[in-house]
Amino acid sequence: MAARKLIPLLDRVLVEKVQAVTKTSGGLLLPETALPKVNEGLVLAVGPGRRGKDGDVVPVSVKEGDKVLLPEYGGSMVKLGGPDNKEVFLYRDEELLGVLTD
């Protein structure tokens, strides 16, 4: 199956969750139960925005490449085809908790 590209609609944001660290700096492997909860992601694509009450388009508040803080629950998991069979998540713009800066 060829890799697919997903373009979100309306105020949806396509996010790839950042992988939790599975190895310490000393080289010890961490068990799955000790891994921290992943609540950070990288924005892969955004929709054009939603329509406001006056009919104008309200743009999405994040852009591609932003690191965002994700809620503990929510989002819709989507598996994109291709050799890596990547799992990504669709969130509404209003569900995102914030933008992380360096």
> 3-state DSSP: the chain helix, strand, coil percent, rounded to 5?
5, 35, 60
* Residue 3's pLDDT band (cuts 50, 70, 90): very low
Q: Which CATH superfamily is domain 3-99 in?
A: GroES chaperonin (2.30.33.40)
> Over the stretch 46-102, which tens digit does the pLDDT of each residue have?
988 888 888 888 888 999 999 999 988 888 888 877 667 778 899 999 999 888 887
Q: What's the predicted TM-score (pTM) here?
A: 0.76
Q: How far apart are the first and last CA of the chain?
A: 37
CA of 72: how far to CAs of 38, 40, 96, in Å?
Answer: 8, 10, 10
- Say how far apart CA 62 and CA 53 lie, in whole Å: 21
Domain boundaries, the chain: 3-99
